[in-house]
Amino acid sequence: MNLEFSADEIAFRDEVRAFIKENYPQNAEIRGADDLTREQFLAWHKILAKKGWVAPAWPVEYGGTGWTATQRYIWSEENAAVDAIMPLPFGVAMVAPVIYTFGSQAQKDRYLPKILSGEEWWCQGYSEPGAGSDLASVKTTAVRDGDHYVINGQKTWTTLAQHADWGFFLCRTDPEADKPQKGISFILIDMKTPGIEVRPIITIDGGHEVNETWLTDVRVPVENRVGEENMGWTYAKFLLAHERSGIAGVARSKRGVERLRSLASTELLDGEPLIEDRDFARKISQLEIDLTALEFTELRTLAGEAQGKGPGPESSILKIKGTEIQQRLTELTLEAAGNYGHPYFRGFPEDGSNARPIGPDYAPASAPLYFNMRKTSIYGGSNEIQRNIISKMILGL
Amino acid sequence: MNLEFSADEIAFRDEVRAFIKENYPQNAEIRGADDLTREQFLAWHKILAKKGWVAPAWPVEYGGTGWTATQRYIWSEENAAVDAIMPLPFGVAMVAPVIYTFGSQAQKDRYLPKILSGEEWWCQGYSEPGAGSDLASVKTTAVRDGDHYVINGQKTWTTLAQHADWGFFLCRTDPEADKPQKGISFILIDMKTPGIEVRPIITIDGGHEVNETWLTDVRVPVENRVGEENMGWTYAKFLLAHERSGIAGVARSKRGVERLRSLASTELLDGEPLIEDRDFARKISQLEIDLTALEFTELRTLAGEAQGKGPGPESSILKIKGTEIQQRLTELTLEAAGNYGHPYFRGFPEDGSNARPIGPDYAPASAPLYFNMRKTSIYGGSNEIQRNIISKMILGL
Amino acid sequence: MDFNFTEEQSMIRDSLARLIREKYDFDTRRAALSSELGRDAAMWAQFAELGLLMAPFSEEDGGLGGNAIDAMVVMEEFGKGLVTEPFIPSVVCGGGFLRSAGTASQKEHHLGGIMSGEQIFAFAYAEPRGRYNLADLETSAKSDGSGYVLNGHKAVVIGAPWATHFIVTARTSGGQRDAGGVSVFIVEKDAKGVSTRDYPTVDGRRASEVYFENVSVPAEHLIGEADNGLPLVEQIADEAVAALCAEACGVMGVAHKMTVEYSRQRKQFGTPIGKFQVLQHRMVDMFMEHEQSVSMTYMATLKLGESEIERKKAASAAKVKIGQAGRFVGQEAIQIHGGMGMTEELAVGHYFKRLTMIDAELGNVDHHMKRYTALSAGDVSVAAE
Amino acid sequence: MDFNFTEEQSMIRDSLARLIREKYDFDTRRAALSSELGRDAAMWAQFAELGLLMAPFSEEDGGLGGNAIDAMVVMEEFGKGLVTEPFIPSVVCGGGFLRSAGTASQKEHHLGGIMSGEQIFAFAYAEPRGRYNLADLETSAKSDGSGYVLNGHKAVVIGAPWATHFIVTARTSGGQRDAGGVSVFIVEKDAKGVSTRDYPTVDGRRASEVYFENVSVPAEHLIGEADNGLPLVEQIADEAVAALCAEACGVMGVAHKMTVEYSRQRKQFGTPIGKFQVLQHRMVDMFMEHEQSVSMTYMATLKLGESEIERKKAASAAKVKIGQAGRFVGQEAIQIHGGMGMTEELAVGHYFKRLTMIDAELGNVDHHMKRYTALSAGDVSVAAE
């Protein structure tokens, strides 16, 4: 048992670090996903595409890097350290593994290269209104009409669909199936197909990150179905297992704690730096300790995976604790802002509604970020669902 | 809306306070219920019996004082302020209301005076092994044999049964009843009847407060049944509703916080009084604030009762929060004791096993008290059951 | 001891509740908040008409003879309807300063206006670097013989865009955080040298940065004693805290009720989520937090008239409890609503946001916990702060 | 990076687990603890026989060439079986001082005895008024030319009734809480002027108050540098903290497992209580607390060899987490067991008690949180403390 990286791993880390330092686009600031343009989202992706580093987890034959689990860990740590805007998960991490695992050769050839290049932007069509964490309760129907499906229904929480070229959708192809999990198919849809309407959902932070997607008599070629008809739930579950990796967000939260420490050093309380206040300092310490516990729990999980244990229900711990820590970070940041947590400047400067934010730089975003991050304990299987999973799969209750 | 007592109430408080000051037996220290002798338990009870103040809540005709709800509140506050050992609830607060409400005239005449005088000590025979908060799952049977019941079964958690003269027992008289709540009878049993065996249960704090009570062919006259045969659950529920009043323990917890403040003023941390440590002081403040919230919630409940609203499911809040605060108090006391929380001197000096406790006066009892108080969130309907009650009765879920 | 409302108080509650229900539904409110003015000024006129704005003033001062309990009743209803109108800044704070320490002439000039709704006061106490310490003042007021000259910058003055007058705290002597040397002034918004930068707040209200540049304030605009204004400021801040707690109770109660209601209707895996025991117990905890918050609000409101130390401890204890309860109730209301709770469109998110920001107003949990602790230890310097 | 155990470590774990299972079941343990000696000394001999007591020592020192990870393995198993034998006082602390700073002669006199189990050390650091501050010492050691004269009172010295030797911290110079001026001595228990008052502890161990009255200690019994012993004391205390954390993980794991098992069998209202979602989620939280505690214990153990500040932060972070997790897991284990959990007769209560007292040993949550915070702020004085 030891904590050291091997010499090779250290060399790899140095290479990665140097590459990021030289190539990461300087102007790609993160301010909240919905404030970014499509180009800003894709800037780093396109640089990585040239380097061949977009999709480290893919098999090498499709464009993966062939890195070990530890190398991939180092890669995400190093990116997090500069708050890099990574390739979006919907294409690279979600639909692509389904395509290269279950898709036809034609599908692989058609879709994977453009996911790698960033040419085609993907969105998810899983969730439906009222379904919440019960993803198998799919009401959107796909009815066969010759060599097309005719699709009708409504999807929701389609993240960044306003930019998307393609979407992967779960549709019910057999309404008579005896279980909700049966009779679902996994279909790829060109978002420019007539009959698709994407309507913004504005969230409580005022942002536009998610959408409702309405499908009315949308005609999709049958060849766009991945795998077998009615077997979509199998692919969907496979995808969800992939979605969970990296969900702990340790490296990003570490950066967040650093940032919190730094801003709490400039904020004052009774004329002294806020960070010297025992109560506030203690809260940061607690957060950092919880984060260390999460970090080493993730490392233990990684070590298990390296030995061939798949990412099992243990990853639910990472989801629960990771999101609790992310939420706590935004909570403490808002607290640090004090009175300057109140002013609201969303949309500046594009919409011209307000001249210039007020208070310290980080403050105007502090409340919206706190509000926004409440989503993390709801999405990706709510934290209650994660506890149900552990209870059932690990404790056997 | 106002917080003042009326002039009459103030006069009453002064009278009560003076009476306690003059009459409360000086040597009746509390050290943990099981350390007290029967005589110590009854010392104050017997003085109150002479004064006629044993049972303020009883109807005047049976020996009650006729006080208003506010007067009774003042009475318990004033007793708590000196940590008085009050008359035990099993007779005065539990079985007596059942007897005077549902019992025969003969039963009233036979039992109530000796409860008031303290001559007869009562214990409860409700809980059975394995039943927990599910009190209606009664397995002890009472089979009619002429003018007697023959009783067989086992009861548990019979508090202080080692001192008891009488017990009230729930027994199943109709094993065929279609619901567990039906077919139960409420029977009074002389604890000296042949076939009764009381065995100590030692708790994790090392104390002997509760017992198992085994009943083997115990013959009890039918006239000892209260009310109708098979209707015992009705009386049991009535009794449980009475049990809950005063469960918040506000006045006693206030004394506890004072004591905690005082001992934290003598304990040192880095050479300074522990109470000046920001972390410890904050924990006391939090406890005191929670206690204030409980106090005013209880006062609001009392005000509601004074207007004729019975003690409804709201009293579950008092149980939950009251016990959480009592537990927290012992937790902080143990924390204050630091290293001196470790030594164990239970039984001193009676059993002579150890010469003299070590460390500050309060310290040797701090861990046992903390251990012992874990019971409070379990007994009287566990705090989980209380939440079920609120969920069902108040939220309608 | 008595926890009943008077007939007048019950009447205020009922008519205000009716008015809000009928004239300030969620969509009307939203439209008003996103209008340029950021409010529906007609509501204020109707509140005045109902007598709300005069409720907490003595009959001698021209009011209805009520007290802080009337303000509590009003603010709880405001909370239920998420009303953003400036009752606390104008009636509780502006009115409070005048009622407690105003000269006959000051009362004559302003009380009528406050009660009719024609004058709106805002309380300019916070500063960019002062956080929640009411004595931490960089704004200065220099005596120039006939009056004072004000210079400084007040931060996040709630309701300032709608105000006609400010109550301004400024340092007339002493060091930056000294208890002594604080004075309180009435400043007209249109006085020369006053400028504002207006903006919305994250919970739908309006506020301003207020700048004073060599603003001449006549001596008769000083409220209370020069240099000894801090005890008065603390008193009014405590009254505002009690009113804010009442608002929070209203907000929490509705957030809880909405959540219970939603959990009954929303099905997952074929079952109403309100049947899941984990959510049931969490809603029970929300219920208990709300109940205890109501208890603490009564307590703090009833103790406003007690000794200075009792009043301060009560206000701080209540604000701590409400801050903690509000955080819990707000977060869980969103969590139990799931994705829907995250949308602008549903009301519950707005209740959550208001609860969040109430903690960040007039001192958060840590601030009041520290104040309470210091008062409990009998630390005179903090007690006086 | 590697989280695997060596073959030797796995062997130690397996044979120790078997020994405890076979020879130290709950009733045997109970009988041993309530005997006059308070332990089953034969166990210690068997541990020695298994090589446990020599596992963490280098081969050069006559040990098996293991390290802190071996101690971690041993203590986790001790935790699972609630073993009260003095592995931490004697092997981790006594052995640790000798290994890190012992002279050749000291090693020669004591290491063999510790490894064979014939010598038992106890670590006498705490004082009646010093709480968890390792430098807060009233015990004095005055140089008398040829050696030192010790006077003082050490509080709650765990394992002292069974000890043959004490490691004693004493002040050779400086003020009562100064970082400088601390020295460390080996004192034989039967030295003249040493007296003890023995007693059981609430979690079934034995401890003593140890009194030194003009005890002559030869100069060669000083371990490490005179006056500069604190860094060494802190190092060994951190090693003991890591071992204590490992014990806590063992305790927590069993408490959790027992609770899950009980919840499957125990029925209430006709249903196994493990079917109630509220209890399920609570057992999930217990599971997560245990998992995270294991992670923190690995982390702290692996960082014992890093820089002083990294080592200290790691040990304090782990002790904080373990204190919090232990409290939660212990309390909920009792709560879910209900009344049965309250009885002496069931094992779970003993696991709860041990978890409780681990937090009160070598610094509780508040102590280590403060230390961690100070270290994070780079406060040199506390870092050196």
For chain D, domain boundaries: 7-119, 123-228, 231-383
Residue B244: the pLDDT is 62
Q: Which residues contact A309 (CB under 8 A, 6 or more apart)?
A: none
C281-321 per-position pLDDT tens digit: 999 999 999 999 999 999 999 999 999 999 999 999 999 99
Whole-angstrom Cα distance, residue A337 to residue C360? Answer: 9
**CA atoms within a 13 Å half-sphere pointing along the CA-CB vector of A193:** 23
Chain A residues 125-164 with a CB less than 8 Å from chain C: 127, 130-134, 137, 156-157
Chain D residue numbers touching A282 (CB-CB < 8 A):
369-370, 373
Residues B25 and B73 in one domain: yes
Residue D382: the pLDDT is 45
Chain B residues 260-289 with a CB less than 8 Å from chain C: 275-276, 278, 281-282, 284-286, 288-289
Span B341-357, mean pLDDT?
69
Q: Which chains touch C (3 or more CB pairs under 8 A)?
A: A, B, D
C44 alpha carbon, distance to own chain's centre: 16
Residue B73: the pLDDT is 87
Is residue B267 within 8 Å of B277, Cβ to Cβ? no
Cβ–Cβ gap A377/C335 under 8 Å:
yes
Q: Which residues contact A177 (CB under 8 A, 6 or more apart)?
A: A183, A230
Residue A161 has pLDDT above 50, yes or no: yes
Is residue B144 within 8 Å of B173, Cβ to Cβ? yes
In this prediction, residue C382 has a pLDDT band, given cuts at 50, 70 and 90, of: very low
Chain D residue numbers touching B341 (CB-CB < 8 A):
202, 357, 360
Residues B223 and B252 in one domain: no
D30-60 per-position pLDDT tens digit: 999 999 999 999 999 999 999 999 999 999 9
* B2 near C CB under 8 A: yes
Question: Which DSSP string do the residues of D153-178 spell out, in sequence order?
Answer: EEEEEETGGG-SEEEEEEESSS-TT-
Catalytic site residues of B?
243
Best of A284, A289, A385, A392 to disrupt the D interface by mutation (most D CBs within 10 Å)? A289
Residue C378 has pLDDT above 80, yes or no: no
More confident residue, D379 or A25: A25
Q: How far is D357 from chain B (nearest CA, A)?
A: 7
Residue A358 has pLDDT above 80, yes or no: yes
Structure tokens at A132: 């919440």
Whole-angstrom Cα distance, residue C277 to residue D271? Answer: 14
In a domain, A99, yes or no: no
In a domain, B24, yes or no: yes
Q: How far is D321 from chain A (nearest CA, A)?
A: 7
Instruction: Count Cβ atoms below 10 Å from residue D173 Cβ, excluding itself.
Output: 15
What letter does residue A228 receive in the DSSP assignment?
Answer: S
Q: How far is A63 from chain D (nearest CA, A)?
A: 27
Residues B256 and B344 in one domain: yes
Closest to D154 measured CA to CA, from D185, D109, D114, D113: D185
Chain C residue with CA closest to A357: the answer is: C199
Q: How far is A291 from chain B (nearest CA, A)?
A: 22
Residues B128 and B28 in one domain: no
Residue C384: the pLDDT is 40
Residue A348: the pLDDT is 52
Question: Among A329-338, B34-43, B265-274, D175-184, where is mean pLDDT lowest?
Answer: B34-43
Residue B35 has pLDDT above 80, yes or no: no
In a domain, B132, yes or no: yes
In a domain, B324, yes or no: yes
Cβ–Cβ gap B391/C377 under 8 Å:
no
Structure tokens at B156: 């548990």
Q: How far is A313 from chain C (nearest CA, A)?
A: 20
Compare CB distances from C278 to A201, A203, A384 and report the shortest one's residue: A384
Chain B residue numbers touching C258 (CB-CB < 8 A):
none
Whole-angstrom Cα distance, residue D296 to residue D291? Answer: 9
Q: Which residues contact C49 (CB under 8 A, 6 or more apart)?
A: none
Cβ–Cβ gap A345/C131 under 8 Å:
no
Compare CB distances from A285 to D293, D301, D376 and report the shortest one's residue: D376
Whole-angstrom Cα distance, residue B334 to residue D357? Answer: 10
Span A117-142, mean pLDDT?
90
Residue C383 has pLDDT above 50, yes or no: no
Chain C residue numbers touching A156 (CB-CB < 8 A):
339
Residues A19 and A46 in one domain: yes
Residues B312 and B388 in one domain: yes
Cβ–Cβ gap B384/D276 under 8 Å:
yes
Residue B132 has pLDDT above 90, yes or no: no
**Domain D7-119 indexed as CATH 1.10.540.10:** yes
Residue C385: the pLDDT is 40
In a domain, A105, yes or no: no
Q: Which residues pair with C207 in a beta bridge?
A: C158, C199
Chain B residue with CA closest to A283: the answer is: B279
Residue A33: the pLDDT is 45
Whole-angstrom Cα distance, residue A17 to residue A74? Answer: 9
Structure tokens at D235: 């190092």
Residues B226 and B138 in one domain: yes
Between vectors from CA D5 to CA A242 and to CA D365, what angle results, nearest 5°?
80
Q: Do domains D7-119 and D123-228 have the same CATH topology?
A: no
Q: Which residues contact C198 (CB under 8 A, 6 or more apart)?
A: C160, C161, C206, C207, C208
Instruction: Count Cβ atoms below 10 Å from residue C305 Cβ, excluding itself.
Output: 12
Compare CB distances from B1 to C2, C321, C370 and report the shortest one's residue: C2
Instruction: Count Cβ atoms below 10 Å from residue A15 Cβ, excluding itself.
Output: 12
Whole-angstrom Cα distance, residue B203 to residue B180? Answer: 30
Q: How far is B203 from chain D (nearest CA, A)?
A: 4
β-strand pairing of A166-172 with A122-125? parallel
Structure tokens at C75: 């603010």
Chain C residue with CA closest to D279: the answer is: C278
Cβ–Cβ gap B397/C280 under 8 Å:
yes
**What are the respective helix, strand and coil percentages of chain B, to the nearest 5?**
50, 15, 35
Chain B residue with CA closest to A277: the answer is: B278
**CA atoms within a 13 Å half-sphere pointing along the CA-CB vector of D333:** 33
* B292 near C CB under 8 A: yes
Chain B residue numbers touching C278 (CB-CB < 8 A):
none
Residues B222 and B331 in one domain: no
Whole-angstrom Cα distance, residue B309 to residue B349? Answer: 49
Residues B277 and B337 in one domain: yes
Chain D residue numbers touching A9 (CB-CB < 8 A):
1
Closest to D278 measured CA to CA, from A103, C16, C279: C279
Cβ–Cβ gap C353/A371 under 8 Å:
yes
Is residue D374 within 8 Å of B229, Cβ to Cβ? no
Residue B30: the pLDDT is 47
Residues B359 and B326 in one domain: yes
* D278 near C CB under 8 A: yes
Compare CB distances from A338 to C132, C334, C335 and report the shortest one's residue: C132
Q: Which CATH class is domain C123-228?
A: mainly beta
Compare CB distances from D295 to A2, A5, A293 and report the shortest one's residue: A293
Chain C residue with CA closest to D276: the answer is: C277
In a domain, A93, yes or no: no
Chain D residue numbers touching B134 (CB-CB < 8 A):
268-269
Residue B140 has pLDDT above 90, yes or no: yes
Residue B34: the pLDDT is 53
C217 alpha carbon, distance to own chain's centre: 26
Whole-angstrom Cα distance, residue A315 to residue C8? Answer: 59
Residues B149 and B281 in one domain: no
B291-310 per-position pLDDT tens digit: 999 999 999 988 877 777 66
β-strand pairing of D121-124 with D165-171? parallel
Residue B97: the pLDDT is 95
Catalytic site residues of A?
243
B278-290 per-position pLDDT tens digit: 999 999 999 999 9
Structure tokens at C210: 């207020």
Q: How far is D212 from chain A (nearest CA, A)?
A: 38
Q: Say how many domains are in chain B.
A: 3
Residue B33: the pLDDT is 45
Helix spans in B244-277 (H): 250-266
Is residue C138 within 8 Å of C152, Cβ to Cβ? yes
CATH number of the domain at C231-383, please?
Answer: 1.20.140.10
Question: Which DSSP string do the residues of A318-370 spell out, in sequence order?
Answer: HHHHHHHHHHHHHHHHHHHHGGGGSB--TTTTTT-SSSS--SSTTHHHHHHHH
In a domain, A352, yes or no: yes
Chain A residue numbers touching D288 (CB-CB < 8 A):
317, 320-321, 390
- Residue A270's domain comprises 248-393
Q: What is the pLDDT along chain D (385 residues), one digit of tens a residue?
A: 788 899 999 999 999 999 999 999 999 999 999 999 999 999 999 999 999 999 999 999 999 999 999 999 999 999 999 999 999 999 999 999 999 999 999 999 999 999 999 999 999 999 999 999 999 999 999 999 899 999 999 999 999 999 999 999 999 999 999 999 999 999 999 999 999 999 999 999 999 999 999 999 999 999 999 999 999 999 999 999 999 999 999 999 999 999 999 999 999 888 999 999 999 999 999 999 999 999 999 999 999 999 999 999 999 999 999 999 999 999 999 999 999 999 999 999 999 999 999 999 999 999 999 999 999 986 544 434 3
Is residue C63 within 8 Å of C95, Cβ to Cβ? no
What percentage of chain C has pLDDT greater than the value 70?
98
Residue B108 has pLDDT above 60, yes or no: yes
Residue C85 has pLDDT above 50, yes or no: yes
